[in-house]
Structure 1
Amino acid sequence: MSQNIKPLIELKDLRRSFQSGDLKVEVLKGISLTIEKGEFIAIMGASGSGKSTLMNIIGGLDYLSKGTYHFNGREISQYSEDELAELRRENFGFIFQRYHLLNTLSAEGNVEMPAIYSGMPANLRHQRASELLARLGLSERQDYYPTQLSGGQQQRVSIARALMNGGEIILADEPTGALDSESGKAVLEILKELNEAGHTIIMVTHDPDVASHANRIIEIKDGLIIADTKNQTQESALSAENGLSTLTWKKASGFSQIIQRVSNAFKMAIISMKMQRLRTFLTMLGIIIGIASVVLVIALGRGSTDQIIADIRNMGTNTLTVYPGSGFGDRRSQSIQSLRPSDVDALKELPFIHSVTPVVSTSVEARYGNISAINTQVQGVGTQFFDVQGYDITQGIAFDEVSEATLALEAVVDENTVKTFFPNGENPIGTVIILGQLPVQIVGVATSKSQNMFSSDSMNIWIPYSSAMHRMTGGTSFRNITIRVNDGVEMSLAENSITDTLTDLHGKKDFFIYNADAIKEMVESTTLVMRILITSIALISLLVGGIGVMNIMLVSVAERTKEIGMRMAVGARKSDISQQFLIESVLVCLLGGTIGLLFALFVGFLVQQAGDTIPLSFSIPSIVFSFLAAFFIGILFGYFPAKKAAELAPIEALERS
């Protein structure tokens, strides 16, 4: 080789390290290597030796920490992000052990992916993909989806994808690792054929038999090259004349290319939404709820305000509820057993406490005669529960302190339970029902004062908490403790005092307090500006809708991380990734906004047909304002997850589980 001819790839003292907490892990410790055009190289090494990291750096999927990497004489650090994407798109073709095919696209669609990002016209893409699949023996499988193909067939699709834009350099990471022996041999024959046709092959493997097919074997151990040997292999049985030739074509002009990119991104967004209907629906659910909430809340107006105030007053005032955990979103709260009978005794000693009501809960099968109801909610409560929570005892009596002390088998039921077990209007008082294996006698029927606001078809049965703990759950802790504070006591001061008391008892703050009285105080203190409050609630509902879109879009990004990595590996620019997600967000917002508006109007129609006393008045300005506001909020919250997706490093996205 003449000294004036520069090698295709030249690495000097290449190093790659990762930060793992406070520990710096050096994977590559000084790799120096040159690769000439047309070579067939096998990089061998045990797991963790750094061979895959080296291949990822060569392919522009990962970044070196120190050293130099020249591709065709140009230092890789001089490449911009878009130029690196072009390098992957135009010069490299990746063959992955796990294929990394998109299940939402057919075999032909997966093969066409690199050409979409290179701007190849649709007719040439179809022609090129069909030709490649036919040459690889998949002409009858072009319209099959990856899940309909065998492992060997999926690997052939990934090979065709690697060759779509020419594939001057083929990077194969354990290409036979997930295949049976026959499929593996076929893939190796294809790689040898490609090498004979002029492609440079860089293959990573840990198998010496696989490596023996290459004409140069580089061994890596602990991030260092320990051997670089030539290998004499048998000639391939396939003729180079049958090689997979490249296709030349002329790129569109600048403006036409932009239109083409947007059009292709739009089509891919439609395909993704169509193939992932549930995810699409969940993504738009926040906008649907936000739009519907805004329109309905504004329509309710002053009439609903009066009803809210009345219902809040009927719920019971001056109440605080203590829950285990750090907040309502704490998934560990079910396993935290921090609220115990000793807490109730301590709280009763506080001078500003009117009453304390512990609550334990369980679901059982309830039976009466030949009628049974599964998953019936049984709550063990204190004697003051019904006063604190705003229930009237409409029949019979509530249990008392004697019932608590004697673990009485007595129960108070709600009207839904009465309707279920006594459909013919029998008197439930004195009858015995079976809760799981426990017989209890109904002593009272309770009706919620705020049932118009919190109506439910669920059945509720209350028994003394002592009976529930000792005879049913066997537990020693409460689900929550509800506290009623004496009139005239400042609720914030009471909450702080309760927090200090329980923290001292527990030795830590493993609970949180919900102040139900804050809602009443807020509404009653703003009666003169009630319309402003309603508007604020509407805007909050809309904001919640936007947050819902953001959350599901973030879930979508996490769910599709490997897809993002694959798209980047085949040459997608960061702008291509963000563009596709943004278009998806726009479409989701448009569709979700329309559905939300129609849903709100439909609910209003049903309410009016039912003759509800709460007036609903829909106005064109409020509908337009709500729809546009939700639309732009949805776009905003959808765009940032898309931007986050675009900023992922290709190798990070590909390897993330």
Structure 2
Amino acid sequence: SGGQQQRVSIARALMNDARLVLADEPTGALDSHSGQEVLRILDELHAEGRTVIIVTHDRSIAGRAGRIIEISDGMIISDEQTDTLDQGPEGAAETVAPAPVSGGLRGLLNRTGEAFRMAVLAMKAHQLRTFLTMLGIIIGIASVVSVVALGSGTQQRVLENISSLGTNTLQVFAGTSFGDIRSGRMTTLVVDDADALARQPYVAAVTPTVSASVVARFGATEANAQVSGVGEQYFEATGMTLLEGRFFDAEDVRQMSQEAVIDEDTRDTLFPDEATNPLGQIVLFGKVPLRVIGVAETQQSGPGGSQNLTIHAPYTTVQTRLLGSLSLQSITVKVADDVDTGLAETAVTEFMTRRHGTKDFYIINSDDIRQTITSTTETMQILIAAIAIISLVVGGIGVMNIMLVSVSERVSEIGVRMAVGARQGDIMQQFLIEAVLVCLIGGFLGIALALGFGVIFSLFDTGFSLVFSTTSIVAAFLCSSLIGVVFGYLPARNASQLDPVVALSKG
């Protein structure tokens, strides 16, 4: 009543940015005041450059138009111009410039902005439900990011442990294979083998290696220790870092000097008093006194390695004073940088087999170990991440369920919007944006939760750390967006396909 239906119809046309407005009996069943108000609105639309066509039986209303076309029995019987068109300065009819069209990119941005605003209002109206909906996404994203970070941290720690073997290194051990029970009694690996390998063109450095487990004593302090007898090239081959003092040299090895290089752990254990300088101190290893000449950075022991304190001394000293045997336990070979370690391993195998007349040794390639562990950790990382992604899928299904419920609850709202001109695409866009927003905010909170977990995890001395990467974080955002689109499509499509008449009747 009172022209409200006409005004709603005009508003609907304007929401669709209509360039052509067709008004069929716009003043029907209206009082004169309301009728004039509706006609005034139509005049304003015409002044904006829109084409207004009025269908009427009232000649007084038709007289307001600049052109009157009279139709009878489906035939045009007259077509005349009136004098109601605005006249220009010279008396000619003035053409009104059309209003700028809000289509294209600008129109798309306007519609998207409106859909975004409606989605935010809907989320604010049901804050608890929105939070519970995104909870599955939060847990899923946090799980995936944390698992990937833990896998990266584990891989990094293991590779650091392997680095104690050195890079591009081969270790030749006595025995036919790993775990050979006869290896401890075999004496075929000798210093001459190391000297012969050092003369090969593909070798950068060689060091014989022997070891003995002893009790280290300094004053009233004692601890279990492993004395590694090595050559002067051992420190270069393994990349050991000197913190203070010096490494022993070839002359020290030849003279069987009673000197030792300790690591940080040994220094902290045997010399807890920071005022005591370990350099020059005499430490008793078993019954053999050795003078400390250097302190090196602690190297992580390889997988399954000993947890004893580590001391390095000339191998000649360890052989003669601690072991009483001239045989070697292993030979460490550093391969030249321009030589492939796989080819070098084959060459060493052939060389040592010819030299011994049989293959009474086995070789551990540090690069092979590195590649194997890297491959294994990556596989485990993918497996665990795949399991964590299941929680994301469950969270996505939760989003879809809640959005479907939301559509059924907001049928009347959808009907009103479509009745006043909202397109199917506008309705679909609104619900898609709402689903994507829920998942994006959930993804952001999930990443924040994972980072917080990383901070808490670092407070505990676990030996491992969480290594977060930009790639995993960006992938998490993209994944949460994709979940919003995929699982929000069905509710959005259902909402857009509602019949406005049915929707309004249900509302």
Tell me the TM-score normalized by structure 1: 0.35
Q: Which has the higher contact order (CA 8 A, sep 6+)?
A: 2
Tell me the TM-score normalized by structure 2: 0.45
